Structure 1
């Protein structure tokens, strides 16, 4: 393989990984507005990175004949999950601190959170399977970039949370709502 073709493929995959990872950054920014410890931020980023690895892998393995159907479904499911998470954050911000949130970025809530931001990488994986992209390079690039971007979003959200105080969780929920609506109703 020619070195320029190889570098071109790496740059293309990085741009795709960055675009997909911006979902994780945006949602991480909103979720970072909840009081999270650094250990939680680390595990959230790792989980999102892993989801961004196995979702495109699953997409690549399933094949191109399903890409049109599952591409739209994945977008709608991801948008619905983000709407649900955003509403849940807004509602829980008006409750006493002693009451538990329905979904938090721990345990099953972390699974839902990571799934919501990685569903689009499934449909991209389907598309990349058509073109015969290098599987290992794709999943590593997608996983690492989304993990780093989610960490940046979570840490930035955590910093902003200190400035906004009690309104930060409402703002975080609104960010998730807007992002969910954007996925459900693209312009």
Structure 2
């Protein structure tokens, strides 16, 4: 098991906080030009990406050795997860852009809160993981994969329920 340092927790929190703040800004600038397209497809993109990452986590919890696992602080993994989990913030930004509402303060609040929650969550989660057995660790990874797939399903179901 890797040692979690403050800088790792900071790196993860920064990546998630940065993209949670950036996506509403990008969405706001995109505004009404892309609103129809994004409303039609963003939920499916989020669902498939979250399902892929969640499915990969579940697979690796059963069939991967510890030395084969990629670290969550490696750039490609962190970049993908940060973008995927901030797609809903992009939709918020588009909505605020269409409504011609101010965006800077909401984006800073979203990014700041995300940073704080991620920093504490990663650090505390790692501490809890450090007292767990290998079996429990694999179970945590499996549960994490299920949670990501569940988030993707929630996004799709909420979108489909709007049409009813």
TM-score (normalised: structure 1): 0.71
Among 38, 42, 66, which residue is 2:34 paired with? Answer: 66
Q: Aligned residue for 2:48?
A: 80
Distance between the aligned counterparts of 1:170 and 1:36, measured in 2?
20
How many aligned positions are there? Answer: 153
Q: Aligned residue for 1:37?
A: 4
Q: Aligned residue for 2:149?
A: 177
User: Structure 1: 5+ residue runs without aligned partners?
Assistant: 1-33
Runs of 4+ in 1 over 4 A off after TM superposition: none
TM-score (normalised: structure 2): 0.80
Matches within 5 A, 1:1-187: 37-38=4-5, 39-94=7-62, 95-101=64-70, 104-161=72-129, 162-163=131-132, 164-186=136-158
Secondary structure of the structure 2 residue equivalent to 1:98: helix
User: Structure 2: 5+ residue runs without aligned partners?
Assistant: none
- What is the alpha-carbon root mean square deviation over aligned residues? 2.3
Distance between the aligned counterparts of 2:128 and 2:146, measured in 1?
14
CA deviation digits over 1:94-151, x for unaligned, max 9? 22222234x8442111110000110111111011012222232122112111222222
